[in-house]
Amino acid sequence: MRKFTILFSLVFIAAISTEVNAQWSNTGNNYTTGTLRVGATIPFSTKKFIARANNTDAVAWLDNINNFGTGLIISAAKDVLRVGSLNNQLGNLLRVNANGVTSLGFATAPTTTTWRLNVNGSAIASSWVTSSDRRLKKEIHEDFSHHDKLYEVKTYNYKYKSDENGQLQFGVMAQEMKEIYPNLVSGDEESGYGVNYTAMIPLMIRALQDQKQTIESLREEMKELRSKISDNTELGEVLGIEGERMTIFPNPSSRVANITLKGNTRGNVSLEVVNLNGEVVQRVAGNGSKSAEINTSEMLKGVYFVRYLRDGKVVETKRLLIEK
């Protein structure tokens, strides 16, 4: 009887109290269907857990996820979520403020709202994917000229002041980039500046494509110049450029190989056919003509080399394949 009286008194005091610190609402005989309310005056509802520190600090609740509601909701006027360790009771390991800005590893949370995620240190992932769906974009134009400014960008090696390991880094200076590509720089003097290195990749791709076109164009010009020089023996010798002096057709050959000589054929001109052992198997003396024939009918099947000589010096050597 005494125990019943004490229990009744406690229940009565809790019922008439104007400040609710903790209260349990049971919606059935099974207590797993009830709701726990701590320090909050929010009416009982489908939410399973409600907690409030005061009128400005965090409010958290678990919705009725069986009815496809939200699992966990946390709201606050300042920092929505703070996580720390025993040695970091201020919760600076992870912060999510009321503006949705997340910071990791900062002793003092950044005040910037420029970047949604701030990391003090390095991050790693198997891949970083940037949204690039054409359907999300507008005013699309193929870019032909903006990469020209890449040649104005200065690159540096440096170390971060906050890096205790002093790891060497490579990059650019945001303040300089702001003068060249302002759209690739974010931030301000108060929060600091950052550079969108990923957005520089398309500029580099276009620069490489332009370089390739330039190289191919120069290669064609060089080929044409070599062809013209090859028709002028004296100029070719002065410049040290011989060009293509001899063609062999057909190649492979089985009976006769026709040799065509280009450029000046005056002087002591001759042809030599050499096997893989370096032995001369056939010689053809030049007579000032630009064509000659090599009889291959009696030559064994294999690989040979034809030397074009002028005044005893080898002008050009080409491979000749004999088939039977």
Q: Find the CATH number of the domain harbouring 272.
A: 2.60.40.1930
In a domain, 257, yes or no: yes
Q: Mean pLDDT throughout 302-318?
A: 89
**Domain end marker among 75, 102, 132:** 75
Q: What residue type is assigned to position 78 of the chain?
A: K
Q: How confident is the model at residue 18 (pLDDT cuts 50, 70, 90)?
A: very low
Residue 9 has pLDDT above 50, yes or no: no
Please indicate, yes or no, whether residues 285 and 308 belong to a single structural domain of this protein: yes
In a domain, 294, yes or no: yes
pLDDT (0 to 100) of residue 304: 94
Highest mean pLDDT among 12-16, 84-88, 302-306: 302-306
Measured distance CA(324)–CA(321) in Å, rounded: 10
Please indicate, yes or no, whether residues 89 and 37 belong to a single structural domain of this protein: no
Q: How confident is the model at residue 34 (pLDDT cuts 50, 70, 90)?
A: low
**Residue of 59, 95, 94, 93 lying closest to 75 (CA atoms):** 59
pLDDT (0 to 100) of residue 11: 36
β partners of residue 127: none
In a domain, 238, yes or no: no
Which SS3 state, helix, strand or coil, does residue 193 take? strand
Please indicate, yes or no, whether residues 264 and 297 belong to a single structural domain of this protein: yes
Please indicate, yes or no, whether residues 294 and 318 belong to a single structural domain of this protein: yes
| Mean pLDDT of the chain, nearest integer | 76
pLDDT (0 to 100) of residue 219: 86
Under a CB-based contact definition with an 8 Å cutoff, are residues 61 and 73 in contact? yes
Higher pLDDT, 34 or 183: 183
Higher pLDDT, 137 or 86: 137
Please indicate, yes or no, whether residues 318 and 290 belong to a single structural domain of this protein: yes
Q: How confident is the model at residue 181 (pLDDT cuts 50, 70, 90)?
A: very high
pTM for this entry: 0.49
pLDDT (0 to 100) of residue 4: 38
Please indicate, yes or no, whether residues 318 and 253 belong to a single structural domain of this protein: yes
- If one counts the domains in the chain, the total is 4
Report pLDDT digits (tens) over 117-140: 877 777 777 888 888 899 999 999
pLDDT (0 to 100) of residue 59: 58
In a domain, 230, yes or no: no
Please indicate, yes or no, whether residues 56 and 87 belong to a single structural domain of this protein: no
pLDDT (0 to 100) of residue 10: 36
Can you state the percent helix, strand and coil of the chain, rounding each to 5? 25, 30, 45
Q: Mean pLDDT throughout 50-61?
A: 58
Which range is least confidently modeled, 5-9, 197-201, 241-245? 5-9
Residue 271 has pLDDT above 90, yes or no: yes
In a domain, 44, yes or no: yes
pLDDT (0 to 100) of residue 49: 61
Domain residues for the domain of 48 are 2-75
Which SS3 state, helix, strand or coil, does residue 231 take? coil
Q: Mean pLDDT throughout 234-249?
A: 65
Q: How confident is the model at residue 266 (pLDDT cuts 50, 70, 90)?
A: confident
